[in-house]
DNA sequence: CAAAGAATGTCAAAAATGCGACATTTCGAA
DNA sequence: TTCGAAATGTCGCATTTTTGACATTCTTTG
């Protein structure tokens, strides 16, 4: 059984050597974003890959009622926009900086040239993509089979940044509710339950995870009853 | 939103040249499966990739009560098991042949060697993986925002084989219900509605999609409403 | 510092969904 | 062909979740 709290989607950059990363920085164009600044819009078609150098990017989609359906936080070393380089697909998500953030932008053409010259970039990208795909399917599966409370817990686990970063999610309950596909009232009640259990604490536009591993233990125990099922690669 | 119903995840093999495919067949081990035959089990750890040559493989997970939670059909040219080659993750799906099926098995080690010798394989795999990942993300989004009926319709579209294969899903309603995370009663009611609309017809352990494009049109119309409201909101 | 805006906490009614039951239909084996 | 197992079609009833409303708390801004 995979330990979600300790399972980390190893980011792209960590599959590369120091020299290879240096080359990327040579080719790319570094840009600074202020907290909350808009990075890209869903549907944008121009091709290019971006790598988070410092800070974090918040990926999601704006829903019909204006809420933001968060998909994930992208931390240092993570990439986005690979779709536009290797396929004809437009960008799938809206992105905004979460805190002061530096992004390394590389044009699609340039990145492809790099990959051809040095396949290590492709290996790294493939690995990172597979890991992220794993998590995406994991979430998809959670939505399908987990009862509400464990489902909320699981999302919190997935979204919570790793230590030593502060284990606190800075988002509105209404947005998290939209992300999970449920009403704000239901989400609040679930959070209330988790708070009663001492696993999290609610704040104004923030949720603090008191102890990630305790939350994970609680989740493991509850999933055990329901029987845990893991999704993988497929989806043709 | 991209037209998911008509969007096809171009499979791995279609990104390769005739010669490259021939090489794969040289290296790999072809094996024949009879309809319904078991292919692999969730939890298997040995690394290796498999490519569907003819027929189709049904990927999913058996639940404790014997039901099968279908994740997808893998058609000719599709691969599975990449996870085991590029990461340390075990196989997490049960697979069975759907109809007489031929699979080309290649060991993880062998496949990695191929990729190093000829990066085109990596390019192909990266593209195929990204496409599938894209669909997973779109489904994740759809599951969160679509009401029950369109959601059922969407899954039917995704699961329905391409023509000229018979547009008929051979599965029990209870299994499909589990796959969608619904009760059998709710699913039956949804299917009943779709049948009333003339889009599908229900049979014994089978669902026939009368006209895939008609079903798609109906779905588009319903998604269209949501999308329009959505873009208005984004602009404001 | 005060007021306005934003987000949370909560509740009751309404709607949706699950659950269990049972009749009906279909399939397959004796 | 007949019978039994398996799957579907449906119906209330119990439960969960949403909706809409409103008071409260927190943040920001003038």
> A236 — contact with chain B (CB < 8 Å)?
yes
- Å between B221 CA and C7 C1'? 35
Alpha-carbon Rg for chain B, nearest whole angstrom, is 19
Query: Is A44 in contact with A91 (CB distance < 8 Å)?
Result: yes
Please give the pLDDT value at position B79: 93
pLDDT by residue (tens digit) across B121-153?
Answer: 999 999 998 988 887 887 787 788 888 999 999
Please give the pLDDT value at position B228: 38
List chain A residues with CB under 8 Å of B93.
231-234
List chain B residues with CB under 8 Å of A61.
141
Describe the strand order of the beta sheet including B29-33 as a list of residue ranges: B29-33, B101-107, B48-54, B79-80
Please give the pLDDT value at position B5: 45
Identify the burial level of B3 via C-beta atoms within 10 angstroms of its C-beta, where 0-12 means exposed, 13-18 middle and 19 or more buried.
Answer: exposed
Residues 6+ apart with CB under 8 A from B202: B173, B191, B192, B195, B208
**How many whole angstroms separate alpha carbon A66 and alpha carbon A62?**
6
Task: Answer yes or no: do A123 and B123 touch at CB < 8 A.
Answer: no
Residue A173 to chain B, least CA–CA distance (Å): 16
Please give the pLDDT value at position B166: 76
Residue B185 in this model has a pLDDT that exceeds 90: yes
Q: Which of A206-220, B105-119, B164-178, B200-214 has the lowest mean pLDDT?
A: B164-178
**Plot region of B140 (φ>0 → left; ψ -120 to 50 → alpha; else → beta):** alpha
Task: Answer yes or no: do B229 and A127 touch at CB < 8 A.
Answer: no
Alpha helices in chain B (DSSP H): 18-27, 82-86, 108-117, 120-145, 148-159, 173-180, 184-196, 212-235
**Plot region of A124 (φ>0 → left; ψ -120 to 50 → alpha; else → beta):** alpha
pLDDT by residue (tens digit) across A150-172?
Answer: 999 998 988 887 766 778 888 89
- Which of chain D's bases lie under 7 Å from a protein CB? 7-12, 16-21, 25-27
Closest residue in B to A85 (Cα–Cα):
B127
> A133 — contact with chain B (CB < 8 Å)?
yes
Angle between helices A148-159 and A120-145 (to 10 degrees): 160
Please give the pLDDT value at position A148: 92
DSSP state of A100: S
Nearest residue: Cα versus C1' of D10: B185
pLDDT band at B2 (very low <50, low <70, confident <90, very high): very low
Please give the pLDDT value at position B63: 61
Task: Answer yes or no: do B129 and A132 touch at CB < 8 A.
Answer: no
Please give the pLDDT value at position B3: 47
Query: Is A69 in contact with A61 (CB distance < 8 Å)?
Result: yes
Q: What is the pLDDT along chain A (236 residues), one digit of tens a residue?
A: 445 445 567 889 999 999 999 999 999 999 998 877 889 888 888 899 999 998 888 888 876 666 677 777 788 899 999 989 998 888 888 888 877 889 999 999 999 999 999 999 999 999 999 888 887 777 777 777 788 999 999 989 888 877 667 788 888 999 899 888 899 999 999 999 999 999 999 999 999 999 888 999 998 887 654 443 332 222 22
Statement: the pTM of the whole predicted model exceeds 0.85: no
Pairing, β A200-203 against β A38-40 = unpaired
Strand, helix or coil at A52? strand
pLDDT by residue (tens digit) across B108-117?
Answer: 999 999 999 9
Residue B35 in this model has a pLDDT that exceeds 90: no
Residue B68 in this model has a pLDDT that exceeds 80: no
Please give the pLDDT value at position B27: 95
Q: From the list A63, A131, A140, which residue is nearest B140 (CB)?
A: A140
**How many whole angstroms separate alpha carbon A96 and alpha carbon A180?**
19
Alpha-carbon Rg for chain A, nearest whole angstrom, is 18
Query: Is B107 in contact with B48 (CB distance < 8 Å)?
Result: yes
Place of tokens 């404790």: B64
Instruction: Count the neighbouring beta carbons within 10 Å of the beta carbon of residue B41.
Output: 13
**How many whole angstroms separate alpha carbon A56 and alpha carbon A73?**
7
Describe the strand order of the beta sheet including A206-209 as a list of residue ranges: A168-169, A206-209, A200-203
Please give the pLDDT value at position A100: 82
List chain A residues with CB under 8 Å of B132.
133, 233-236
Task: Answer yes or no: do B145 and A233 touch at CB < 8 A.
Answer: no
Nucleotide closest in space to B186 (CA vs C1'): C17
List chain A residues with CB under 8 Å of B75.
236
Strand, helix or coil at A160? coil
Instruction: Count the neighbouring beta carbons within 10 Å of the beta carbon of residue B63.
Output: 15
pLDDT by residue (tens digit) across A186-232?
Answer: 999 999 999 999 999 999 999 999 988 899 999 888 765 444 333 22
> A74 — contact with chain B (CB < 8 Å)?
no
């Amino acid at each position: 059984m995979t330990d979600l709290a300790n399972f980390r989607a190893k980011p792209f950059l960590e599959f590369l050597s120091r020299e290879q990363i240096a080359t990327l920085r040579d080719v790319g164009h570094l840009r600074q974003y202020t907290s909350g600044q808009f990075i890209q819009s869903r549907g944008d078609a121009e091709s290019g890959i971006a790598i988070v150098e410092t800070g974090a990017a918040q990926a999601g989609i704006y829903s019909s009622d204006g809420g933001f359906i968060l998909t994930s936080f992208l931390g240092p070393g993570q990439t986005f926009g690979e779709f536009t380089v290797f396929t004809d697909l437009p960008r799938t998500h809206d992105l905004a900086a979460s805190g002061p953030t530096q992004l390394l932008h590389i044009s699609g053409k340039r990145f492809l040239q790099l990959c051809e010259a040095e396949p290590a970039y492709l290996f790294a990208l493939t690995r990172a993509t597979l890991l992220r795909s794993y998590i995406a399917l994991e979430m998809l599966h959670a939505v399908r089979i987990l009862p509400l409370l464990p489902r909320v817990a699981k999302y919190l686990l997935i979204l919570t940044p790793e230590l030593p970063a502060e284990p606190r999610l800075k988002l509105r309950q209404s947005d998290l509710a939209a992300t999970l596909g449920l009403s704000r009232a239901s989400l609040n009640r679930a959070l209330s339950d988790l708070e009663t259990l001492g696993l999290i604490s609610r704040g104004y536009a923030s949720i603090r995870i008191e102890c990630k591993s305790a939350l994970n233990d609680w989740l493991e125990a509850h999933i055990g009853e329901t029987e845990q099922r893991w999704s993988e690669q497929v989806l043709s």
